[in-house]
Structure 1
């Protein structure tokens, strides 16, 4: 196997100079850099990842931990992190957290592998278990903010996005707008409920708790949640996340309800009617998180903004224009 010493002998420089060229150190003359790069190509040098780990104390690997890699949103985050890591000669290892209780064990097992950094979309509600790791390994949170530990985070404007989606239904004439969510223990769900309520309040619409239903964590839960909500008589519904929306597709398609949802999902634009969504851009989340890890590795003493809130946008399709139940409310009002 070709070593840096072999490259150094061909280029007529020290092994340390070869290392500097390979790591793009600016303190190398152009002529020396050209000589070393020519030797690297001639010998087809491949870096030894194990040796790199021993030298730096870190494996050239970024960990990505998400609640469920099958979820299209989290899969996109992982894909973006992997793409950026590959551009910098690093690999990615991805793990499923699955449940809040399992998260500390899974994440710490990953960190024991001397990773260069960790991107995490957490499932747990308290991340204090990371305090022992945070000073030695760059950790970046995505989608949800850290609780119990200070770390970088890239999150979406949950309140603003929910406000935008709900206000859009109001603009279509709806005043009986339901909210469907998964678990109010999650900060994203609470923030989106806050945005939903603020939009109704701003429109002068009285809040009605019977129009708020949570528990849509899977298909069975989504069906039960919708049944509870439907008894309150909504003419429109705002789904607080894409997973709940996907579970509700078979029910909502023929419900006569106008629909908006927080988070796009595969085939949302192919449904009949196509669904209006708040676009989160998970690819941007993953790329920004991975880049922050690379930045912290390159300049560990630089000050960075800890919390970054990314804007979201409304993608209007056909589902917000459904007026079947709205017309029913208008006819009933006219008869009164």
Structure 2
């Protein structure tokens, strides 16, 4: 099996230059890069994972920690990280954080003890200061939610603007009794979406009614209970804004049985466009989030002294479908 020194001799360069080319260092001349790449192909060079680990002190592995890998959004995000990591000869270890914020530090630190090169995390806890001791040796990138208590890169989406657009869309269809169905305002994404919901009501001069906000929708059963609470109001909502795809999916049976109810949700999900009625959503881009996060880890590993933007907010888009066109009004 060819070694890096073999490649260096074939190309007429140093082993360090071969390493820089292999790791996509931009500070190598085009002519040198081409000679090294020819030698790599001719010798069919494959890097030794074990030697890479010993040399850097880190395994060529990215970690991914998300609330629930079964959630379509986080599943797509993790798959995007895997795809880019594979191109660069890295493997990926994925874990679900669950719903208990108190368990996050133990789960994440157990993952980090594997000497990862980097970690992509969508946190559930309100404080990540426990990661301070790891930040110096492991590249940390937050997705969907910003880091709290530790300095790290983050890629999020515009929760406020998305919720404002979805709620405003329901207002445009004539609704003034619009319910907000979500999980917990302790979660930054939900908190931002509730603020966006309220902003849309203010835009339309509709008074905010706290009774129309139902939280605690963490799974199908609790979402059904939260929706039932809205249904029991003396003046129930004629439309619902669901704060995430999991909550929206829990409402599909209700939507199909009661076409009087309009629905818009934050986050697309599989077959949302094929249901009857199809569901209006704020379209996120988990693939872009995962790809950007993985690329940032690779970039920081290759160029540790380069300056990068710490926080990047990705835009979201309203996708109008039939669920905002009920066959008849309630009441």
Give the structure-2-normalised TM-score. Answer: 0.92
Structure 1 position 225, deviation (Å)? 0.5
C-alpha distance 27-195 of structure 1, shift in aligned 2 (>3 A): closer
Alignment partner of 1:185 is 2:186: yes
Worse-superposed segment, 230-239 or 35-44: 35-44
Moved more, 110-119 or 175-184: 110-119
Superposition RMSD in Å: 2.0
Residue in 2 that maps onto 1:234: 237
Equivalent residue for 2:320, pick from 292, 310, 316: 316
Contact between 1:223 and 1:251, CA under 8 Å: does it hold in 2? no
Match of 1:112 in 2: 113
How far residue 5 of structure 1 moved from its aligned partner, in angstroms, is 3.5
Aligned to 2:281: 277
Q: What secondary structure, in the 3-state scheme, does the structure 1 residue paired with 2:170 have?
A: helix
Q: Distance in 1 between matches of 2:87 and 2:74?
A: 20
Mind listing any 5+ residue stretches in structure 1 that lack a counterpart? 329-336
Q: Contact 1:241–1:262 (CA<8 Å) still a contact in 2?
A: yes
Q: How does the TM-score come out when normalised to structure 1?
A: 0.90
* Alignment partners' CA distance in 2, 1:30 and 1:153: 32
Cα shift at 1:235: 0.7
List aligned pairs for 1:232-311, cutoff 5 A: 232=233, 233-255=236-258, 256-311=260-315
What is the CA–CA distance in structure 2 between the aligned matches of 1:30 and 1:201, rounded to whole Å?
57
Instruction: Classify the secondary structure of the residue corresponding to 1:102.
Output: helix
Distance 1:145 1:30 in 2: 38
CA distance in 1, matches of 2:15, 2:282: 53
How far 1:11 moved relative to its partner?
A: 5.4
What's the CA shift for 1:17? 4.6
Partner of residue 86, structure 2 = 86
Instruction: Label 1:195 to 1:13 Cα distance change in 2 as closer, same or farther (>3 A).
Output: closer
Q: Residues of 2 paired with 1:170 and 1:24: CA distance?
A: 50
Q: Which runs of 5+ in 2 are unaligned?
A: none
Cα displacement (A) at 1:12: 6.0
Distance 2:58 2:282 in 1: 38
Aligned to 1:331: none
The SS at the match of 1:290 is helix
1:10-40 deviation line (CA, Å, top 9, x unaligned):
5566544543443355666767655554443
Which deviates further from its counterpart, 199-208 or 41-50?
Answer: 41-50
Distance, in Å, in 2 between the alignment partners of 1:214 and 1:24 is: 47
